[in-house]
Structure 1
Amino acid sequence: MAFTLAPTAALQGYRLDVLDTVGSTNAVALERALAGEAAPLWIVSDNQVAGRGRRGRVWQAPRGNLAASLLLRPAVALPEAATLGFVAGLAIVEALEAVAPRARFELKWPNDVLGNRCKLVGILLESVALPGGGYALAVGIGVNVVGHPTDTPYPATNLRALGANCGAAELFLALSDAWTQAHALWRDGRGLGEIRARWLKRAAGLGSPVSVRTENRLVEGLFETIDEECRLVIREHDGTIARIAAGDVHFGVAATARSNT
């Protein structure tokens, strides 16, 4: 099956560029933006050889996995546009549920999707200032379809290992459809409350012990919710409420040990 846009996406003006091999779909999206490319544009490949993860990490992806980046020029301030990561999370989970209904998918704050409690999807937002003013945003989504790395701090998996029989192109078709619906719900941030509510229904580790390594310290306690700004809310052991904007998250009784590795 070749990569194609869902009819709903095409009708809303989304375009698609399919690359046989790419270094990083996010990098290509931002380069296109600087060259004057119009948005919204999906850039996809099933062979990404130099993918990027959070905090400069490498995103490993064998041929057959899905690498997709959506180039946008949001009309809102960059801090508001950052919540599109939660829109992307909802969209990819709904796409996964459509193609692999027997597996269990959860959203792991801030930007991962778990399949049967193992990392399946990574989401990375990157932006660039445009010469004429404003900025462009690349919403990168990488999915382990046929393979996954083994040397990761958090257990990983892939759709084939979960028993799904879909390919990257079939998954992208479902994703491009699910994105249009989730993005319409977001409404330039005005619908973030509904996005947050839907995200929490699929949240991994809600109510369980959590450990978060931030730039300044290790925060431990119970994962209570995400707040109106989509920050992670933790009730620490002494009852203090901590609101975390960024950090590496580990759940369960081994959370502290894992966060120190």
Structure 2
Amino acid sequence: MKVLIRTVAETGSTNADLLAEAAAGAAEGTWLRAERQTLGRGRAGRIWNSPPGNLYASTIVRLRAGEPPAPSLALVAGVALDDVASAYAGCMAISLKWPNDLMTGSAKIAGILLERAGEAVVIGMGVNLAEAPAGLDRPTASIHSLCGSAPDAHAFLLDLAAAFKRWLGRWRAEGLAPVRSQWLARAHPLGTAVSVGGREGLFEGLDQDGALLIRYADGSGETVRAGDVFLL
């Protein structure tokens, strides 16, 4: 897979742009970074605030027969993002939170958004390098606010593209197991109290397809394939 990185000063949404490019035949390995987004978005249609100095980037994956479930690409993106963020932000403890967040303690420092167009999946990643957006429904942090300096967004993306290519290759060649194992090793501990859809329970790991396993106080369990999860 050849990696092609393009940077623009401003766009509405890097995911929206690459969805259109994917429909027009753009190749896997295409990356688009924007220095500023005016219509950035997160999961469930939420607005993704885009202050300057942070990373806003998306890439295209072309699905092939026999691969693991497409939603598990969120885990691929998560472990790649964790590899790079942990290398750049040694001053902070970073963990993964299902399905698409990178956390430091209870504060979010990065998010992932998957959107599909036919056999193409566009994966958007936003990382708070320089500034933590305010006014959201959850705590946020940035590498700059906790470490005193912000990584260069382009340099960060070069490393991220390489890490994502490496983990995508393992996902294809070895299946989901090694990605799932790495994700669990870098997630909050088993038994962590979480809220899913307003119901509180304990994090029990991931099933073999990457879905979230929850155990409730009454002893019942649930396999969650989509939804918002909050750490308690």
Q: Secondary structure at the match of 1:162?
A: helix
The 3 A distance-change label for structure 1 pair 80 and 210 is same
TM-score normalised per structure 2:
0.93
Partner in structure 2 of residue 175 of structure 1: 160
* 2:8 equivalent to 1:19: yes
Higher alpha-carbon deviation: 146-155 or 222-231: 146-155
Measured after TM superposition, the shift of residue 38 of structure 1 is 2.2
Partner in structure 1 of residue 63 of structure 2: 74
- The 1-side partners of 2:124 and 2:19 are apart by 11
Measured after TM superposition, the shift of residue 79 of structure 1 is 7.6
Higher alpha-carbon deviation: 81-90 or 109-118: 109-118
* 2:215 equivalent to 1:231: no
* 2:150 equivalent to 1:165: yes
- Kindly report which structure 2 residues correspond to 1:103-252, keeping only aligned pairs within 5 A, or say none: 103-129=92-118, 135-163=119-147, 164-187=149-172, 190-204=174-188, 206-213=190-197, 218-252=198-232
Q: Secondary structure at the match of 1:87?
A: helix
Measured after TM superposition, the shift of residue 64 of structure 1 is 1.2
TM-score normalised per structure 1:
0.83
Are 1:48 and 1:63, in contact at CA under 8 Å, matched by a contact in 2? no
The 3 A distance-change label for structure 1 pair 55 and 14 is same
Q: Secondary structure at the match of 1:160?
A: helix
Percent identity, aligned pairs only? 38
Unaligned runs of 5+ in 1: 1-11, 130-134, 253-261
Higher alpha-carbon deviation: 105-114 or 76-85: 76-85
Q: Could you report, residue by residue, the CA deviation over 1:37-65 in whole angstroms, capped at 9, with x for unpaired residues?
A: 22220111221221110001000011211
Are 2:130 and 2:150, in contact at CA under 8 Å, matched by a contact in 1? no
* 2:42 equivalent to 1:62: no
Are 1:98 and 1:174, in contact at CA under 8 Å, matched by a contact in 2? no
The structure number with the bigger radius of gyration is 1
Unaligned runs of 5+ in 2: none
Are 1:185 and 1:194, in contact at CA under 8 Å, matched by a contact in 2? yes
Q: Could you report, residue by residue, the CA deviation over 1:52-90 in whole angstroms, capped at 9, with x for unpaired residues?
A: 100010000112111110112111479812111100000
Q: Secondary structure at the match of 2:191?
A: coil
Are 2:129 and 2:150, in contact at CA under 8 Å, matched by a contact in 1? no
Q: Could you report, residue by residue, the CA deviation over 1:12-46 in whole angstroms, capped at 9, with x for unpaired residues?
A: 41111211111100001011112222222011122
- The 2-side partners of 1:111 and 1:137 are apart by 15
- The 2-side partners of 1:48 and 1:161 are apart by 21
- The 2-side partners of 1:67 and 1:31 are apart by 17
Higher alpha-carbon deviation: 236-245 or 202-211: 202-211
Are 1:208 and 1:251, in contact at CA under 8 Å, matched by a contact in 2? yes
Q: Cα RMSD (Å) of the superposition?
A: 1.7
Q: Secondary structure at the match of 2:199?
A: strand
Aligned residues: 231
Q: Secondary structure at the match of 1:52?
A: coil
